[in-house]
Structure 1
C-alpha cells in the first residue's frame, strides 16, 4: 500500500509541472489576446472618431455660395463620434444613381475626403448636389434649425439597416409627455410625443428677457393656463373650459438639441432677431434644472441627464440674412476650434462665450444642441456632473 502510494505521488510531479507550464502558456496567450483586443479596440475607436479626433489638422469646407449654414451643420455632424460610428456602418448603395442620390453615402464620402485629404479645406460639392436632388436649394440662405431637421429626416429615411435607423433615433430624439387638465373637473389627457429639438424661448409671456439657458429650460417646462381663445373642449364638461397645459420630460437622447428661438414677429408680420445676452454653461445637469413635477422618468434614466458642451453654431446678421460658423470642441484634445467655412483656427472658451449674444458683438448663438455620450464601449462612464460622457452642441436660428 505504501509503495503504491509513493508511486502515485511520484506520478503527480510531472503532471503538476505540466499544469504550471500550461498555466504560464495560458497567461501569455491571454496577455497576447488582451493586447490584440486593446489594439482592435483602438482601431474601432479610430474608425469612429470625428474629423478633428484623428490628431490631424482640422479640415474646413469651402463655401459654395451661401452654404455657410450647411458647412457649419456638417462640421458638427462629422465631429460627433457617435454619428460617424453610425455613418460608417451604412449599406453602400448598389448602383451609381443610388449612390449619387444617397445623403448618408455622400456624407460618408465627404468624411473620408476630409480625413484622408492633405488640403486645409475640401469642397462639399457632391453632397450639396445630392441634397439639391431632394429639394434642398443651393445658393440660398438656410435657417440652421430647419436645415438640421431636413438633414436628419433624409438620413433616417435613406439608411436601409433598421438597427442603424434605431440608433439614429436614439442618438437625437427626445421623448416628452404632454398633460392637459381641465380646471373645472378632473378630466385629464396624457400623450407621449417625440421631438428632434426643444424649442426654448428667450422671452417670457410678458416679453421679459430670460437671463440664462437654465431659466429658459425652466420656463419651457412651466405649466401654462389655456384661457380665452386657447380654451379646449372638455369631454366630461361638454364644453370649452380652461385647461392647464404642462410637459414632462420622459427621455433625453445621446445628442440633445435645444433650439433657442431668437426671433419675434412684429405687427408688420416681419420677424426681428433677439440678440440679447443669454449665457449657457459648459456643464448642464437636468436634475438640477428641472423639478420632480417636470420629469416623468425613473432614476436610471435621470442618471444620464448630465451634459457637457461640445459645439456652438453661431449666426451673425439679421433675421433675413447673415453668416454661420461653428465652434467645436475636439473630443481627444479638449481644445476648441472655430470652423468658419474653409478657415479653421483654435480658439479659447472666452471666444466661445461671444456667442452668448450682445448687440455690440459679432456672433450670436441662436440654437443649442446637447449631446450626451452613453457609449460605454468607448470607455466613457456616466460621471457626476457629466465630466466624461456628455457632450453638448449649440446651434443658431434665424
Structure 2
C-alpha cells in the first residue's frame, strides 16, 4: 500500500559545528572528493546491499527534486544532486552522528543527525552542513603545506532533507529550506524535523513504520544556486560594503532621510565632484562651509573603508536641528545645496560649473491662432517636476508637462494691439542639461481629506528616453537628445514616515548598486525598474484543487521612485569619466591633522583607562595647609602644589610604588610608611590604616577599590619615621593605638598651623 507521511515544514535552525563530535564513517559511504560526478544529477549512494540499492532506484530523484525544490524563475542553478545515508542500527547511534561527506556542484556537504534531538528530546534533529574545501598554504620555505579555511567562503543552496523507510521509499518525511552557508552558519536545518514517536510507530496496520527494525534511509537533495549579486539570502551580519562592491555608504543620522541617496547620486556625477574639489576652501570655517564639508564627504567616500559620517555637512547648512531636514523635501535640499555651491564658485576657475551640468532652458508661450502674435518667456531650470497621477509612463509625464492649453470663448487672450484672441498656451523646452534631475510628484494635497497624501500609482520609467520631441523647433539638434538612466531615488512608506535609498549606476557599465544608508549592494538591472514603478503588485494566482483558481487581491506597493537622474548619452563619458581632480592639499592636511589628533586622543584614552591617579600627602603638606582638613587632595582647591600627584599603571604593586615614590621624593624607603585614607561622614579625610606586609603585593587599582572606591583617585599619606614613632614601625599597628594630627589656631592672626602628629593609646583618651 502506498502511503506518504504528512509533510510538515518546521522552523529552521542552526547548530554550531562541533569538530570533536564523532563522524560515523561506517554508516554510509560517499563519492570520493575527487571522483567525477554523474550527470545530469550528481549522485552519492551508500555501499548498501543489492536489495537496499534496488530500493533506492525507485526514488526517482530527478522527479523528487523538481517536485520538492522547484527552481524560482529569478534564480540560476550551479548544480543539483543528492545523497542517501543508509542506517542499520538506529538505537546504537551516538548523540550526534555525521554522514560521510558528499559533493554537489564542487561543494562538499554532510548530514548532521541528532537521533534523540538537539535541545528537543521529543524530536529528531536533522541538518545539512557545508564543508568548505581546504586550501593548501605553503610556508616560507615552500617545502611544507598547511591547511586553512577561507573566512569569506559561502554557498547558497536550496535543500530538502528526507527520512524514508529503508525498503519502501514511498513512506517518507521531508522538509525543505534555503540558506546562505557561511563560516558562522555552516549548517542549517530542522531542530524539530519530526517527533520520534511518529517515526517509530505504524500509521496503520498495513504500513510499516518509517524507522523499521532500526533501519532507515536519510536523504539530502541539494540545489546550489548562483549568487550573481553577492547578497543572495545574506543576513548582512559583518557585511563589508567596500570589500564586496568597492563602494561605501553614508551613516543615517535619523532625520536626514533623503540626503544620503542624493549625495551618493551627486558623488557619482564625477564632473560635479571634480568641480566641488576645485572650490577654494582654505580659509573656510569647517562648521559653516557647505563646500568644505562636501569636499570632505566626497573624499571620505573615495578612501574610507567604513560608512561616512555627514554630521559636519548637516551642521554647515545652518539648519538648527535634524528636524529642520524633515521640514524640507529632496528638491528643496538639492536647490539649497546647488545655490550655495554656485555662489561659492563665483570668481573661481569653476564658475558656471553648476549651470553647465544641471541647467536647462524652457520657454513658456502664448501663441495666437488667428493673428501673428506670440508672448513668450525663456527661463532657466535645474530640475523638472513631473506629474505621476494620470501618467502611466515618463513620456506621458513629459507630454503632460508640455500639453498645450487652448484659450478661447470667455478665456480668450488679450493680445497687445489685437484685442481678445483665440490662443495656444504651453511650455516647450529650449534645451535639456547634461544631467537631468526629474522630480516625480509622489506627494500632493488631497482636498477631500484636507491633507497631504502619497501617490503610489504605477509610473514606468525607461532605461533610456529620447526627449527630442519635447524640444522647440529651433533647438540645437547636432547631437542626440537621448538620455540614459543614471539613478533612481526611492521612498518606501507613506507621508508620515518611511525609508529612503538610491539605486545608482556609478559608471557607464551596466551594473547597478543599491545605496541604502551605510550599506551598498549590487542589484540586478531588471529589479531597478519593475520593482519601483509603484502601483499594485502583479496579480498572483494560487491553485486550490483541480482547475479551481483564486487570485490574490491587488495590494498597493508603497516603495516607489520619487526622483530620477538621467545623463545625456552623448555626454556620458564627459560627465562620468572626466579624469580625477586632485583633492585639495589643505583638505588632506586638515584630515591628517585630525587623524593625528584622534590618534593622540585614543592613546590618551588608553593611558587613562590603564592608569590611575595617585595622590600622596606628607607631613609638610599638613603643616602648610591653612584649611580645616589634613590637606586638599582636590587640586582645584589646593593652595599647596607640592602634593605628590601622578598617573601610574593600575597594575603597579604598592611595593613598586613605594620604591618609585622614594626615588621621586628623595626619601629612603625604610624611613616612611604609607597609610590609606578614608572619607568621614563630615566630608573630611583622615588616615585609616598603615599599608604594610601583604599590602605591598597588591596592585594600586586593588588598593583603591578596597580602601576608597568612591574617589576617582588613590589617596595615601606618607608618615616619616621620627623619634616618637613606634618601635615596630614596619609591623602592624596595635588596634588600641591611634595616630592624631594636631593643629593650632591663632585667633589674633586668624591662622591655622599644623603642629605635627602624635600617637595616643586608647586608655589616654
Same fold, TM-score > 0.5, yes or no: yes
1:213 match:
394
Of 206, 221, 224 in structure 1, the residue corresponding to residue 405 of structure 2 is 224
1:92 aligns with 2:281: yes
Residues in 2 aligned to 1:235 and 1:54: alpha-carbon distance in whole angstroms? 67
SS in 2 for 1:299: coil
Aligned partners of 1:93 and 1:102 also within 8 Å: no
2:350 match:
164
Count of residues in Structure 1 that have an aligned counterpart in Structure 2: 316
Residues in 2 aligned to 1:108 and 1:264: alpha-carbon distance in whole angstroms? 35
2:427 match:
247
1:206 match:
none
| CA shift in 2, pair 1:342/1:295, >3 Å | farther
1:101 match:
288
1:113 aligns with 2:312: no
2:566 match:
370
1:82 aligns with 2:262: no
1:277 match:
458
Aligned partners of 2:363 and 2:427 also within 8 Å: yes
| CA shift in 2, pair 1:199/1:140, >3 Å | closer
Structure 1 position 348, deviation (Å): 0.9
Structure 1 position 242, deviation (Å): 5.1
* Map 1:53-72 → 2, pairs under 5 A: 57-72=246-261
Structure 1 position 199, deviation (Å): 1.7
User: Deviations along 1:1-21, whole A, 9 cap, x unmatched?
Assistant: xxxxxxxxxxxxxxxxxxxxx
Residues in 2 aligned to 1:224 and 1:193: alpha-carbon distance in whole angstroms? 19
Of 505, 514, 518 in structure 2, the residue corresponding to residue 342 of structure 1 is 518
Structure 1 position 100, deviation (Å): 3.0
1:256 match:
436
Q: Please, what TM-score do these two structures have when normalized by structure 1?
A: 0.71
* Map 1:309-324 → 2, pairs under 5 A: 309-324=485-500
| CA shift in 2, pair 1:54/1:222, >3 Å | farther
1:386 match:
none
SS in 2 for 1:105: helix
1:16 match:
none
Residues in 2 aligned to 1:333 and 1:89: alpha-carbon distance in whole angstroms? 27
Structure 1 position 116, deviation (Å): 1.6
User: Deviations along 1:37-84, whole A, 9 cap, x unmatched?
Assistant: xxxxxxxxxxxxxxx999972111111112121111111111111111
Structure 1 position 172, deviation (Å): 0.2
Q: Please list every run of 5 or more consecutive structure 2 residues that lacks an aligned counterpart in the other structure.
A: 1-240, 537-555, 579-765
Structure 1 position 376, deviation (Å): 6.0
Structure 1 position 262, deviation (Å): 2.3
Aligned partners of 1:90 and 1:161 also within 8 Å: no
| CA shift in 2, pair 1:323/1:340, >3 Å | same
| CA shift in 2, pair 1:324/1:229, >3 Å | farther
Aligned partners of 1:64 and 1:139 also within 8 Å: no
Structure 1 position 155, deviation (Å): 1.5
| CA shift in 2, pair 1:232/1:132, >3 Å | farther
Aligned partners of 1:60 and 1:340 also within 8 Å: yes
Residues in 2 aligned to 1:151 and 1:318: alpha-carbon distance in whole angstroms? 25
Of 328, 338, 349 in structure 1, the residue corresponding to residue 504 of structure 2 is 328
Aligned partners of 1:104 and 1:155 also within 8 Å: yes
SS in 2 for 1:132: coil
Aligned partners of 2:402 and 2:470 also within 8 Å: no
Residues in 1 aligned to 2:457 and 2:373: alpha-carbon distance in whole angstroms? 41
1:196 match:
382
SS in 1 for 2:295: helix
Of 155, 159, 167 in structure 1, the residue corresponding to residue 341 of structure 2 is 155
1:358 aligns with 2:539: no
| CA shift in 2, pair 1:250/1:54, >3 Å | farther
Residues in 1 aligned to 2:304 and 2:454: alpha-carbon distance in whole angstroms? 39
1:186 match:
372
| CA shift in 2, pair 1:298/1:114, >3 Å | closer
Q: Please, what TM-score do these two structures have when normalized by structure 2?
A: 0.38
Residues in 2 aligned to 1:172 and 1:202: alpha-carbon distance in whole angstroms? 22
Structure 1 position 136, deviation (Å): 8.2
Residues in 2 aligned to 1:248 and 1:316: alpha-carbon distance in whole angstroms? 33
Structure 1 position 213, deviation (Å): 0.8
Q: Which runs of 4+ in 1 moved over 3 A?
A: 52-56, 133-139, 160-163, 182-186, 226-233, 375-381
Residues in 2 aligned to 1:379 and 1:319: alpha-carbon distance in whole angstroms? 34
More helix by share: 1
Of 467, 474, 496 in structure 2, the residue corresponding to residue 296 of structure 1 is 474
Structure 1 position 169, deviation (Å): 0.4
Aligned partners of 1:63 and 1:342 also within 8 Å: yes
Structure 1 position 270, deviation (Å): 1.9
SS in 2 for 1:94: coil
Structure 1 position 248, deviation (Å): 2.0
Aligned partners of 1:200 and 1:220 also within 8 Å: yes
SS in 1 for 2:351: helix
SS in 1 for 2:403: coil
Structure 1 position 111, deviation (Å): 0.9
2:630 match:
none
